[in-house]
Amino acid sequence: MRIVGVRRQPGASAVEVAALADEGETVTVIASLRDFWVDPAEQLSRPFTGPTVPTTELQLVPPVLPDARVLCIGLNYRDHVAEGSYHDQALPPYPTLFARWTQSLTVDGAEVPVPANEPGLDWEGEVVAWIGAPLIDASPEHALASVVGYSVFNDLTARTAQKRTSQWTLGKNADRSGPIGPLIPAAEVGDLRRGLRLQTRVNGEIVQDARTDQMIYTVGETLSQVSHTLSLRPGDLLATGTPSGVGYARTPPRLLRAGDTVEVEVERLGVLRNSVVGNNHRFPPAPAATATGRPVTR
């Protein structure tokens, strides 16, 4: 099952949540965005009775609430820590967290522009966990059980902006720099600690190849820690960090430029594919995306 957001009218503000058919040619509407996130587990457990609509007649968008929190773990794979500018520092006992705004998110197939002051964008293939129930002072076990699904994610990064200061917010929120794939229910994915393969490719070349059991900070532990400071709500997201192989750490450094295609593939979650375009594509709204992201079993 692949869950997506849709707009059925061009330029419409109303977003609905829908199930994408296996062939990717139609969606079946489940509920409005707000209604879905009231109790997503319940919405996914019952038959879908909404209309079935061809994907050619709608726009795919992230099924993300406008006021959702998008929390991201930095430096969550040991090999990634070792390859970067933090290699000489001890691993902290708690994860480093930064935030994305929901407006930075886009979908599979969308074009991602390079900001004017950047030589290119860096790839960071990841997995996102979708929170499906309220979390307040939760245990790691309860926090993990609250996850309703997972998606492929690419935390495309504007390195010039990121490296100017100790705070990463600007470099992590460039226009349409957060492509996210369809939500796959947690029951179909299982625990990330089982070691799902994650691979990033640039123009077909493998640049990242790792497994999710190599994470330093687990989903349950991280959500638990966060919930002791701020209350988490259904629809909030946690991006779990990227493995080694990013572009800025290479010799010479390598970045995504206009004309490049970047793919992130995660076992059981599918493939997320986006093209990079020039700065003149920065301001128009994201185009309707193709309906890919098929689950892949290795």
Q: For residue 58, how far is the Cα from the chain centroid?
A: 21
Q: Identify the pLDDT of residue 92.
A: 79
SS3 readout for the chain: CEEEEEECCCCCCCCEEEEECCCCCEEEEEEEHHHHHHCHHHHHHCCCCCCEEEHHHCEEECCCCCCCCEEEEECCEHHHHHHCCCCCCCCCCCCEEEEECHHHEEECCCEEECCCCCCCEECCEEEEEEECCCECCCCHHHHHHCEEEEEEEECCECHHHHHCCCCCCHHHCCCCCEEECCEEEHHHHCCHHHCCEEEEEECCEEEEEEEHHHECCCHHHHHHHHHCCCCECCCCEEECCCCCCCCCCCCCCCCECCCCEEEEEECCCEEEEEEEECHHHCCCCCCCCCCCCCCCCC
Look at residue 11 in the predicted model and tell me its pLDDT.
Answer: 63
CA proximity to 21, closest of 6, 37, 42: 6
214 in any annotated domain: yes
Look up the CATH number of the domain holding residue 207. Answer: 3.90.850.10
Residue 161 included in any domain? yes
Query: Is residue 274 in some structural domain?
Result: yes
In a domain, 232, yes or no: yes
| Domain boundaries, position 212 | 64-281
Residue 56 to residues 26, 135, 152, 251, 254: CA-CA distances in angstroms? 8, 38, 23, 43, 36
Main-chain dihedrals φ then ψ at residue 37, nearest 5 degrees: -85, 0
pLDDT on residue 162: 95
Mean pLDDT per 10-residue interval, the chain, length 298 residues: 91 88 94 98 96 94 98 88 66 90 97 96 98 98 98 98 94 97 98 96 98 96 98 98 95 97 98 95 55 41
How many domains, in total, are found in the chain?
1
**Considering the domain boundaries, does residue 55 fall inside one?**
no
- Is residue 246 in a domain? yes
Question: Residue 97: inside a domain, yes or no?
Answer: yes
Is 298 part of a structural domain of the chain? no
With 0.85 as the threshold, say if the pTM is over it.
Answer: yes
> Which pLDDT value is given to residue 78?
82
